Amino acid sequence: MTAPVLAVEGLSIDARTPAGPRRVLSEVSFALAAGETLCLAGESGSGKSITSLAIMRLLPKASLRVAAGAIRLEGRDLVGLSDRAMRRVRGGAIAMIFQEPMTSLNPVMRIGDQLIEAIRAHQGAEDATARARAMLDAVRISDPARRMGQYPHELSGGMRQRVMIAMALSCRPKVLIADEPTTALDVTVQAQILTLMRELKGEFGTSIILITHDMGVVAEMADRVAVMQAGRIVETAAALPLFTAPREDYTRTLLAAVPRLGARAGTDGPPRVTTQPLAATPAGTPPVLSVRDLSVTYRGARGWFGGTAAGHKAVEGVSFTLQRGRTLGLVGESGSGKSTTGKAVLGLVPFAGEVLLDGVAIAGLSPRAMRPLRRAAQMIFQDPYASLDPRMSVGAAIAEPLAIHRMGTAADRRDRAAELLRRVGLSPDHASRYPHEFSGGQRQRICIARALALEPRLIVADESVAALDVSVRGRVLDLMLELQETLGLAYLFISHDMAVIERMCHDVAVMRGGRIVEAGTRRAVFEVPAQAYTRELMAAVPIPDPARRPEPRRAIA
């Protein structure tokens, strides 16, 4: 075997804290062979991003410091390199692409200038423009000449990530570090970007370090995998054996938690998590939620004198009903209108059409008349970090809906908050603590407790587990299933994640461009999708099994 392109040896990193240094990465070692794709896989806080930033020497100096170890690029240690020499390595021998294509490009600089600048930084000035255009062509962007003069906000997320890749590969780096490069992208776009990376790896002879939390992406991309947890590498193995015969417990847990599309095939509903008999809905009760011909138009910016830009139809002609104790999944890519639909049924955005909550039309209700209805329907949001007031104790946050609706005395509300905390698997004495003391999963439980405070019959869950690690995600989903079985809750479950939808839902509506393109029982939609778009969505989901990896497509010369 030839010498590795990049070798990380015993890398340890300390965080500076007021209480002295705290180790956040310990004794991490791996080697990257020429032409290899190595995946650093792990959940949040495992140290995978810190490792990559350390290789680039982009760690925030004020807070993180390499305590020990070496990072050798073709034998040369980068840790002690001068800043000037390191700048030549960055973007030259090692390039990096990041998770957020929306924010990773300079918003006030033309695409072309950003590319040219990267080329000039390492390879001199002549023909940089032509080479920049050729790079845009290489990442299969349509109309590269025009893109050169455009600004980032004029491009979609997928295109921006292609630009990032073009920029990273423009100086033919030996190593490309890709930090969650597709996490922020829609699943069909993710599939395109992953394919592109596989193809370009061959064309440019680059080795790749791919950092991801998604075991499906790992299975599709990795030659070898290093599983990380809490700042250490738990296990390193070739991709196939890692998936088929993981040696370490943690790897096994991680793999077991990975949602697999098709896992619920042959069943009609989500898995049962309690033994309690399901309450039957008496015939003739109105559905919890009934939506007919719902449309939402976002008005363009309005000037002083009523001059309006043309409105944008976010949702158009959407109809569905949702019965007690059932879950309807709204699935679709960004911009499909699924979140807007969720907001509209709660009366949070103006809409046209008919929305009946418990049989009562909510259109045109005054805020006062809407109030009792708000008790019946609650929402859980995507980001448990942003949806809790950091200055409000958890108990107060859970009791707040009760206070708003003037229910019970302060003491009653405190008792209720304690009871709700227990209900979602937390301890009642957590009530006096503040959100920052909790993990993401615990915070989402708090949000669920808050939503439950008013004993709603409907909960709109908008990407409620998207921000959580897989292992935590499973437990939160189980909690939601348990609450549904015991309380008869109806969920409007909004997600871009096909596997999560499959696990949670009885019925599914696939949305695209503001319309429902296909709807039916989850079993029907997932097992015999009628629409090409639904099939496309399902096919784009990475399969967490390296043996079923898609054939490498022929590189376009």
Q: Which residues bind another protein (CB under 8 A)?
A: 56, 58, 87-92, 95-96, 98, 100, 103-109, 117-118, 121-122, 151, 153, 164, 167, 301, 303-305, 307
Minimal distance in Å, beta carbon 117 to another protein? 7
Residues in the chain: 557
- Which is closer to another protein, CB of 91 or CB of 456? 91
Minimal distance in Å, beta carbon 48 to another protein? 16
Minimal distance in Å, beta carbon 156 to another protein? 15
Query: Is 351:340 a contact under the CB 8 Å cutoff?
Result: no
Minimal distance in Å, beta carbon 120 to another protein? 9
Q: Indicate the helix (H) or strand (E) that contains 190.
A: helix 187-204
- Which is closer to another protein, CB of 178 or CB of 237? 178
- Which is closer to another protein, CB of 118 or CB of 468? 118
For the chain, count helices (H), then strands (E).
Answer: 19, 20
Question: How far is it, in rounded angstroms, from Cα 336 to Cα 422?
Answer: 37
Query: What phi, psi does 23 have (nearest 5°)?
Result: -75, 125
Minimal distance in Å, beta carbon 29 to another protein? 23
Single out the residue of 406, 421, 530 nearest to residue 479, CA to CA.
421
Minimal distance in Å, beta carbon 533 to another protein? 29
Question: How far is it, in rounded angstroms, from Cα 95 to Cα 176?
Answer: 5
Q: What is the chain's percent helix, strand, coil content, to nearest 5?
A: 35, 25, 40
DSSP state letters, 403-425: HHTT-S-HHHHHHHHHHHHHHTT
- Which is closer to another protein, CB of 1 or CB of 305? 305
Minimal distance in Å, beta carbon 68 to another protein? 24
- Which is closer to another protein, CB of 117 or CB of 545? 117
- Which is closer to another protein, CB of 173 or CB of 441? 173
* DSSP summary character for residue 1: -
Minimal distance in Å, beta carbon 105 to another protein? 6
- Which is closer to another protein, CB of 118 or CB of 452? 118
Query: What phi, psi does 358 have (nearest 5°)?
Result: 50, 35
Strand, coil or helix: what is 78? coil
- Which is closer to another protein, CB of 151 or CB of 434? 151
Please give the structure tokens belonging to residue 448: 């669920």
Minimal distance in Å, beta carbon 99 to another protein? 9
Strands (E), 16-125: 22-32, 37-42, 64-73, 76-77, 94-97
Question: How far is it, in rounded angstroms, from Cα 358 to Cα 167?
Answer: 54
Minimal distance in Å, beta carbon 46 to another protein? 20
- Which is closer to another protein, CB of 104 or CB of 156? 104
Q: Which residues of 245-284 are buried (b: 16+ CB within 10 A; e: fewer)?
A: ebeeebbeebbebbbbbeebeeeebbeebeeeeeeeeeee
- Which is closer to another protein, CB of 160 or CB of 512? 160
